[in-house]
Amino acid sequence: MAVYTEVSDEELRAFLGAYDLGEVLTFKGIAEGVENSNFLLGTRSGNYVLTLYEKRVHREDLPFFLGLMEHLASRGIACPLPVKARDGAVLHDLRGRPAAVITFLEGLWPRRVHPFHCQELGAQLARLHLAGGDFALKRPNALSVGSWRPLYESCDGRADQVCEGLAAGLERELDRLEAEWPAGLPEGVIHADLFPDNVFFRDEKLTGLIDFYFACNDCFAYDLAICMNAWCFEPDGAFNATKARHLLNSYRGQRPVGPEELAALPILARGAAMRFLLTRLYDWLNCPAGALVTPKDPLEYWHKLRFHQGVRGPGAYGLT
């Protein structure tokens, strides 16, 4: 999250007039994150997060995201619940943007990832995939392979401003991903952005998942690849096969992963790295002046992508 759109006291009062949340006690912007404008909201009835949906979230997708949180919570996956206003709706407008209030989830996200975090994550990711099985709505992945070249082109040939040679490397990789992207793998609802800052823990136990605003229908193994990239590299860039083994094996303890899914992991991990590299590159080059946001480093994902380019099979991910 971040704050792109400020909300004045009067605007907040008018907006919350439609809810039964009680007197406002605290209200402050959350600097963490990069996608939407988020505020911590404390009222007489409890703590909430107020989100104004920004650039990448389309209004027509919000019923999917908010409905999915309700669905998963009803299936025992701890996640925030959208709060209904008195008119029964969870979505309203604030400063010209769609906005919603969701419940605040207790817990801390891991600043330093240990293998036990990956183990907890793997099992919960599989449970999420299973729990999404009977969710009625569908949403294709708007950030899958077909979107990467247009996203790259929207960076106007400026990739080399970030790193000399990046443009040529990305173009070669896009050709390869477009030619080899797997089809026909088992699919369903995936989170698609399950980074450490979206997973809360208390002691060594996972307590909840947040940030479902990229959730979509896509192959389950792609979600695993996203998590492997986000959780199994060390701060110095080294891949940690022990963490990957914990992640993959605890996932497999809840949902069997077929040989075709395992074989696809290296290319899926390259694609997952490309997806986050490109959104980061775009944001790096187009950071709005005055917004409370720290853009994330695109090159972190270029290094991850380069690692997977050298991988010959899923054995590199700690599997035997």
Ligand X SMILES: N[C@@H](CCO)C(=O)O
Q: Give the residues lining the site for ligand X (CB under 6 A).
A: 34-35, 193, 195, 276, 279-280, 296
* CA nearest to 22, candidates 3, 2, 48: 48
> Please, what is the minimum distance in Å from the beta carbon of residue 54 to ligand X?
11
| Residue 279 contacts which entry, ligand X, ligand ATP, none (Cβ below 5-8 A, type-dependent) | ligand X
| Residue 49 contacts which entry, ligand ATP, ligand X, none (Cβ below 5-8 A, type-dependent) | ligand ATP
| Residue 32 contacts which entry, ligand X, ligand ATP, none (Cβ below 5-8 A, type-dependent) | ligand ATP
Residue type, 262: L
Residue whose C-beta lies closest to ligand ATP: 33
197 binds ligand ATP (CB under 6 A): yes
Cβ(127)–Cβ(254) below 8 Å: yes
105 binds ligand ATP (CB under 6 A): yes
- Which residues neighbour 300 within 8 Å (Cβ) at sequence distance 6 or greater? 237, 280
| Part of the chain binding ligand ATP (CB under 6 A), chosen from 26-34, 68-76, 157-165, 173-181 | 26-34
> Please, what is the minimum distance in Å from the beta carbon of residue 65 to ligand ATP?
11
> Please, what is the minimum distance in Å from the beta carbon of residue 280 to ligand X?
5
> Please, what is the minimum distance in Å from the beta carbon of residue 102 to ligand ATP?
5
* Residues 45-75: b if buried by 16+ CB within 10 A, e if exposed: eeebbbbbbbebbeeebbebbbbbbebbbee
CA angle 190, 228, 223 (to 5 degrees): 10
Q: Give the integer Cα–Cα distance in Å for 266 and 81.
A: 35
The only residue of 4, 5, 7, 33 in contact with ligand ATP, by rule CB under 6 A: 33
**H or E stretch covering 39:** strand 37-43
49 binds ligand ATP (CB under 6 A): yes
**CA pseudo-torsion sign 276, 59, 153, 281:** negative
Q: Give the integer Cα–Cα distance in Å for 203 and 52.
A: 31
> Please, what is the minimum distance in Å from the beta carbon of residue 296 to ligand ATP?
7
193 binds ligand ATP (CB under 6 A): yes
Q: Give the integer Cα–Cα distance in Å for 72 and 47.
A: 21
Cβ(218)–Cβ(192) below 8 Å: yes
> Please, what is the minimum distance in Å from the beta carbon of residue 100 to ligand ATP?
11
Nearer to ligand ATP, 34 or 281 (CB): 34
